[in-house]
Structure formats: C-alpha cells, structure tokens
Structure 1
C-alpha cells in the first residue's frame, strides 16, 4: 500500500474539488498551465495566485513533509509561512488535520477583482491505511501538574487554530456582506440620480413643447397680420441691406489689404536701409582699424627718429 493525502477545500478558499493523491513520490503543487491540468488525483489548481512550481509534498521515514519551492506568494501551515518570498523553505513536517494555505488573496486593481488563494485541510494516511497522528495526538506521558481547571488544560493548539479559522471566515463573510451592502447603496444612489435626471428631462421636454406651441401661435398671428405685398417689400429691403453690408465689407477688406501691402513695402525698404547702414558701419570700422594701424606705424617711426 501507499501513503495518501486528502485535501479538502475550506469555506474561505478559492473553490476546488477534493483531492486524493498517492504519495509514491514527491507530489508537485502548482498552478494549472499547458498540459498540467487540475484532476482529483493531483495537486494542480486553477488559481492565479499560485506559482507553476509552488511546493512539494512527500512521505519519508514514516513522516509527511511540505516544502515551499521558491513561490511568489508563499506557503502557510497553520497560518505560519514556511519561507520568505521567492525563497526555498526547509522541509516542514505536517500532521493530519493541519490547515495548509498556498498563496495569498490578491486584488487586481484594473478590474477591482480579488483572486482567492488555496486553503485546504489535509488528512494524511500511512501506507497501512491508518490515519497519521494529528498535531494534538501526542503519546501519553507523565501527568501534568494541576495548573488550573481540567477544561483549560485540555484546550489544544489545533482547537485554538480552528477557532481562529472560524473567526477569520466569519470576518470574511462579514466583509463580503459589507461590500454587497455598499454596492447596493451605490446602485440605489445611481438609480435615484437616474430617476431624478429622467424626471427633469421630462419637465424640460414639457417646457420646450409649450414654448414651441407659443412660438407657432405667434407665427400664425404674424402671418395673418402681414400681407404678401408687405412681406415682399420687407424681403427686398433685407436684400438691399445685405448688398450694402457686403459692399461695405468688401471695401473694408480691400482697404486693409492695401494697408498691408504698404506696410510690407515699408518693411522691405526699412530692411534694405538697415542692410546699407550695416554695410556702411562695416566699411567705417575697417577704415578705423586701418587708421589705427597707420597711427601706430607713425608713432613707431616717430619714436625711432
């Protein structure tokens, strides 16, 4: 016969099917990739927070061991991490009934989605089919000294850890309920805003229709009061005004264009004058330098004489 491990999903875990794995050799625990797909007889999980090679589980010398193989999000036994991030842990002995956690919950900021980790209770069985000793299943020893009431002495660390798990699960459910309540409140607020906007749009539409009716009435009254001849005369007057405005605008544009041409001509003359002045300054500077050199030469001759 062969040793076996059974992993049962905890309520606060990323959901997975119960696994029954035979430990004929070291069993790899990791994320589902390519051909490595989840199955009831392996430890491959369809969970994004796990590494591809997350941990190893094996049976050796009548003991069961678990080792973290440089995973990113860590491996935990009874809420204790086996190693730091991306570091391989030493082999850690585990017992039947331990709570094992692979990875941690990770929130994706882009979509505000939380990816859960794998949390399982493991039951271990020896090759002869008997269950491996639990962490609190110690061999009988000398009687303990009376330190308090028997009920206090009999409380085991495993019971305390299970109580802690229950409290964490209750807190997780409470947090989920709070999130749902907040979402419902947000939806209610958005619904109220949409209802208010719809009501305001309906009121605005009624006002607009009333305004259109008033304008149509005024237009009909105006059409009755005005004869066709008067409308024709007013149209002719409007066309004459249009021609006057067009001619005025054209004259203004022509005058502006003429002024622009004059300014461009003056600018060209000014640039040409500046160029001539610069040339003259350059010539005077050269004459000055030649005069300075002649003066120096005359001073040298004078000194010699």
Structure 2
C-alpha cells in the first residue's frame, strides 16, 4: 500500500470535491489546463488564483512533505506562508489535521464594473502512512504522573483555527453589510429618480391636455387656415412631448427593473449573510465550549497535583516523626544496656574466687 493524503474543502474555500491522493510519487498541485483536469485522485483544481505548477506533495522516509514551487500567490501551512512569491520554498513537513492553503483571495472588476472575488483553495489535510496509521503531530503537553487527561497540540490548534475562521467570517460579514447598505442607498436613489420621472410624465400629460383645450378654443375663434397651421404646430409639439414622455417612461421602467434586480440580489445576499452569521455563531459557541472544557480539565489537573503535594508533605512529616521516635528509643535502649553492663561488672567484683572453690 502507498501513503494517502485526503484534502477536505473548508467552508471559506473555493469549492472543490474532496481529494483522495495516493502518494506513490511526488504529486503536483496546480491550476487546471487543457491537458490536466481536476479529478478526485489528483491535485489539480479549477481555481484562477493557483499557478500551473503551484506546489509539490510527497511522502519520504516515513514523513510527509509540502513544497511551494515558485507560485505567484503562495502556499500556506497553518496560516504560515512557506516563501515569498516567485521563490521556491524548502520542503516543509506536514501532519494530519494541518490547514493547507494554496493561493490567496483575489478581487477584480468585471466588464460592468462590479467587483468579483476569486477564492483560494483552503483545505484540511488528513495523512495516512502506508501501514494505515494516521500521521498525527506529537503532543506538546503531557502529564503522565498526574491522573486525568492529556492535552494535545492538535486540540489547541483546532481551537485556534476555529477562532481565526470566526474572526475572518466576522470581517467578511462586516464587508457584506457595508455592501448591502450601499445597495439599499442606491435602490433608494433609483426609486426617487423613478418617482421624479413619473411626476414629470404627469406634468407632460397635463400640458398636452391644456394644449388640446387651447386648440379647441382656437378652432372656434380663428379661421380654418390659421387653425390648420396651429394644429400642425400643436401636433408637432404633441409628438415631441409624447416622444419625451415615452423616453422618460422607458428610463423609469429600466431603473425600476434595475432596482428590482438589485433588491433581489440584496435579499439573496442578506439570506446568505444570515446563514453564514448563524454558522459563525455556532462555531464560536462550539469553540468557547471547547475552551471552557479545556480550562476545567486544566483546573482539575492543578487540583490533583495540589492534592498529591499535600499527601507527599504529610508523608514526609510522618516519616520525620517516626525517625525521631526511633532515635529516642535507640537512645533509651543504649542507656539501659550501659546500666546492665555496670551492674554486671559490680556483681563480678563482689563474687570471690574462694567462694567458688568451696562450692
């Protein structure tokens, strides 16, 4: 079996299908071209911000490596760029659970003057050795002598990633809210312009009605030739007014259509923003809960350590007391032994040799 790398799309990434890449040889990561198209088993992405030869991913001597191959927009591991743009980086060892980013978000203007953002590739990588073991990072905090649990770097790093993503989404929401406010302002201006055009149209119609009344009065008070000439003049003015009114009405309808379109886009953007806000809120709450749990576990381990220290101090105190007691008993026994020796000597001096022979 060969080593395996799985790239999972992050919510803030340019969308792509999850990749399962077999690392039998160094795998190229880059932008799709005519001869290299995206697939579930390669590192080619349909993303404009990637270079054709963006990076290399391979497995060697039990370790996974990633290298930037002179890309324009850079390669990032856990939000750290490997090298400057246009330079080739050194090989960077990576682990399962790392956040891998290829390129950066790029904003450009389209033909209509609107700004379009081209997203980059952001993924969570999962790595497996040829024997099926996951290539996890080494824990940096371990307390084997204390009861409780072990806090690993992956947990804290995942928590930091959640917080960074929440901050990023908060900034994106602020930008979208500013855009929404600008769209609402433009829609209000377009509506005011439409109402003004309708008012002008009403004025033109009223003017036409007044002219028709004047024409009727002139037909009674003037000769037929004069009336005919006046009619021709009025017809020309009427045609001119009607043309102006139709043009104004066309502009009003076009502005109204643009306003309706912008309002629809605004509603969709607002719906997407609310969904993203809800998602960010859930992630923030989840991150806060995890942080609270880690803090509680840390306090529990501190309490256990304090309890062990108290027990150790109590045992040392008991050992000191027992040692003092043993020394005192030894001293007393020594004194008794000396007394018994003195008594034995005194008895020996009192006993005479003649008394022993007589016996």
TM above 0.5, yes or no, is yes
The Cα shift of 1:227 comes to 4.2
Q: Under a length normalisation based on structure 2, what TM-score does the superposition of the two structures give? A: 0.56
Give the match for residue 125 of structure 2: 122
Q: 2: CA distance between counterparts of 1:215 and 1:86?
A: 74
The Cα shift of 1:3 comes to 1.0
Q: 1: CA distance between counterparts of 2:18 and 2:140?
A: 28
Give the match for residue 5 of structure 1: 5
Q: 2: CA distance between counterparts of 1:2 and 1:28?
A: 17
8 A contact 1:98–1:135 mirrored in 2: no
8 A contact 2:55–2:67 mirrored in 1: yes
Q: What is the correspondence of 1:67-106 to structure 2 with a 5 Å cutoff?
A: 67-106=67-106
Change in CA separation of 1:143 and 1:88 when aligned onto 2, cut-off 3 Å = farther
**Larger C-alpha radius of gyration, 1 or 2?**
1
The number of equivalent residue pairs is: 224
Give a deviation string over 1:151-178, Cα, whole Å, max 9, x none: 9xx6554444323322232233333433
Q: 1: CA distance between counterparts of 2:151 and 2:96?
A: 18
Q: 2: CA distance between counterparts of 1:137 and 1:56?
A: 27
Please give the root-mean-square deviation of Cα atoms over the aligned residues, in Å: 2.9
Give the match for residue 43 of structure 1: 43
Q: 1: CA distance between counterparts of 2:142 and 2:25?
A: 32
Give the match for residue 66 of structure 1: 66
Change in CA separation of 1:195 and 1:139 when aligned onto 2, cut-off 3 Å = closer
1:12 alignment partner, SS class: coil
Q: Does 1:167 align with 2:170?
A: no
Question: Which residues of structure 2 form unaligned runs of 5+?
Answer: 228-359
Question: Which residues of structure 1 form unaligned runs of 5+?
Answer: 145-149, 233-305
Give a deviation string over 1:63-113, Cα, whole Å, max 9, x none: 111111111111111111111111111111111111111111111144411
Give the match for residue 211 of structure 2: 215
Give a deviation string over 1:150-206, Cα, whole Å, max 9, x none: 99xx65544443233222322333334334433433333333333323322232222
Q: 2: CA distance between counterparts of 1:209 and 1:25?
A: 79
Q: Which runs of 4+ in 1 moved over 6 A?
A: 138-144
Q: 1: CA distance between counterparts of 2:218 and 2:140?
A: 106
Q: Does 1:198 align with 2:194?
A: yes
Q: Under a length normalisation based on structure 1, what TM-score does the superposition of the two structures give? A: 0.65
Query: Relative to total residues, which structure has the larger helix share, 1 or 2?
Result: 2
Give the match for residue 33 of structure 1: 33
Give the match for residue 266 of structure 1: none
